[in-house]
Structure 1
Amino acid sequence: MPALNPSAKFRWIAAAFALLAAIFLQLTPASAGVIAKVDIASQRMTVIVDGSVEAVWAVSTARRGYYTPRGVYRPQMLKRMHYSKKYDNSPMPYSVFFKGGYAVHGTYSIKQLGRAASHGCIRLAPAHAAALYQLIRHRGLGDTRVVIG
């Protein structure tokens, strides 16, 4: 392979850097005004609004044998009260659906919050789920990201 002259090498490096920057900016949730960041290891959700931490809440994610998806998601749908067709018509108040049937929602099993206990959804105390639901409703689905890792 022939050696690149310094000018061509610089252009190649600049183009590669620009491409990586564009990919990073598309993947980062920083452009969202509302970020619901879920830390599966600590079973905590941090709610960030316009760059400031507004709340940190206990959650329950998937227990053994189930899976909570990881990644960055834009909420797809809000539902004030949803009943799970898959799990015995279980109530899911203040549901924020982010990937198919996966949602952040309230639970009445508040004693389980802070440890893995769900079938894959992200459970919150009902008051916290209501607050998140109202915040997303006010700010809009497009201005919100759910970040799970």
Structure 2
Amino acid sequence: MNRILASILAITMMIALPVASHAAALVAKVDVSSQTMTVIHNGKVAYQWPVSTARKGKWTPRGSWSAKWLSRHHKSSLYNNAPMPYSIFFNGNYAIHGTNQISRLGRPASAGCVRLHPDHAARLFELTRRVGKSNMKVVIHN
């Protein structure tokens, strides 16, 4: 019986340790309730910035994703070619991106994306390029 338990424990450790040790090098953690993003780079808080997530009647998805694709000079195909500089797409049409509506940061204002000050979006975009999309995680929670 002890050998069976030891074998189960050994197998569990072989599976769990690689997963646990493969933490993302870059995490953009968005708190919808406080309208803030905390950027964690190599395990340390690097930045905390105001954001705008979905306004009333719209929805910002909750969950965890890796970055899927980047677009430096993106324009919205859904909202009248609205500028979305430094876009980091993480879930379908949802992205983290810069905005020209800086005065609205810190409160819900978007159609669902996570808006940032363009300078902050540029910094996050460059960090994402540096670490690689697969090493960048977007986490959105209340």
Q: Normalising by structure 1, what TM-score?
A: 0.83
CA distance in 2, matches of 1:31, 1:135: 16
For 1:41, the equivalent position in structure 2 comes to 33
In structure 2, which of residues 55, 69, 73 is the aligned counterpart of residue 81 of structure 1?
Answer: 73
Deviation of residue 120 (structure 1)? 0.2
Q: Point out where structure 2 has 5 or more consecutive residues left out of the alignment.
A: none
Q: How many residues were matched structurally? A: 137
For 2:127, the equivalent position in structure 1 comes to 135
CA distance in 2, matches of 1:31, 1:94: 24
Note the alpha carbon deviations across 1:32-88, whole angstroms, 9 max, x for none: 000000000100000001111100000000011111111110000000011111101
The amino acid of 1:108's aligned partner reads N
Deviation of residue 139 (structure 1)? 1.0
In structure 2, which of residues 53, 68, 73 is the aligned counterpart of residue 61 of structure 1?
Answer: 53
CA distance in 1, matches of 2:25, 2:126: 14
Deviation of residue 125 (structure 1)? 0.3
CA distance in 1, matches of 2:78, 2:109: 16
SS class of match (2:119): helix
Q: Normalising by structure 2, what TM-score?
A: 0.86
SS class of match (2:56): coil
CA distance in 1, matches of 2:125, 2:136: 11
CA RMSD in angstroms comes to 2.5
The amino acid of 1:140's aligned partner reads G
SS class of match (1:36): strand
Note the alpha carbon deviations across 1:67-118, whole angstroms, 9 max, x for none: 1111110000000011111101101000000001000000000010000110
Identity between Structure 1 and Structure 2 (%): 49
Q: Point out where structure 1 has 5 or more consecutive residues left out of the alignment.
A: 1-6
CA distance in 2, matches of 1:81, 1:99: 18
- Are 2:89 and 1:97 equivalent residues in the alignment? yes
